[in-house]
Amino acid sequence: MFTTAQPPTRKRLTYQEYKALSQDEQKKYKAEILEEFREHHHKLIENLGISRLDFNMKMPFYDKQARNVVGIFSSEFKKERGFYFELITNEFEPLDSSRTVYKIPYNPNFEEEYELNERGSYLVPLEELRVVNASSIAISGASAILDDVPTKTVAAPKPSVAYKAPGPMEDALYQEMTIRDFFAIHTGKPVSSKSWLNELIKSQK
């Protein structure tokens, strides 16, 4: 069972507060949070022998097939030593209280294997992610990142906390509705990226 961890250091903005920022302010805020994540995992990054730039954070979401996925960019598939990241909520908090790190190995065939979405990234189901064993990395060093060393695949964590439903006496803001949300509402199909909206639609059937 995945539980949300406490934020590393900086006070987090709510999703509504974050969306109210300008694009430049959002970019700066995300960069500051990312540095906190990289600092938290700095020893693992050193043991892996990778650049800090090859470690990031990813927000899981539901695709139109209702799969739990993360978006991986072509440049991230092309990292020779693999690309590493931690899963987060939509308020930039760790999704997993154990601070699990995941790996996408180098893959020259990503264009054939994964679906390209409208944001320019490729949709990778969470169950295909590899879990990085930090203890083994610390002992084995860089050799532990080779593909013939098992990193184990686990059941995908549910990204429900990444898209939290409004409180019982609250409602979602109209200006936050996406085209996909609009389509889901008017067709009665649970294809929204917001899990709470999908559940609401399902409950009406």
Same domain, yes or no, for 187 and 87? no
Same domain, yes or no, for 155 and 178? no
Identify the three-state secondary structure at position 60: coil
Same domain, yes or no, for 173 and 156? no
pLDDT of 26:
93
pLDDT at 8 over 80: no
User: Who wins on pLDDT, 73 or 202?
Assistant: 73
pLDDT of 166:
42
Q: How many residues does the chain have?
A: 205
Give the C-alpha separation, 62 to 98, whole Å: 23
Report the number of distinct structural domains present in the chain.
2
Same domain, yes or no, for 178 and 114? no
For 41, 80, 104, 137, 188, the CA distances from 60, given in Å and listed in that order, are: 20, 24, 14, 25, 23
pLDDT of 119:
86
pLDDT of 151:
40
Same domain, yes or no, for 122 and 197? no
Same domain, yes or no, for 112 and 181? no
Under the banding of pLDDT at 50, 70 and 90, the label for residue 58 is very high
Give the model confidence (pLDDT) of 102-142 as tens digits.
Answer: 999 999 999 999 999 988 999 999 988 999 988 878 776 55
Identify the three-state secondary structure at position 24: helix
pLDDT at 193 over 70: no
Does a structural domain hold residue 4?
Answer: no
Does a structural domain hold residue 71?
Answer: yes
Give the C-alpha separation, 146 to 168, whole Å: 48
Q: What range does the domain containing 180 cover?
A: 168-203
Q: Which whole number is the average pLDDT over 42-65?
A: 93
pLDDT of 105:
92
Cα angle for residues 12, 182, 119 (degrees, 5° grid):
60
Whole-prediction pTM: 0.66
Does a structural domain hold residue 10?
Answer: no
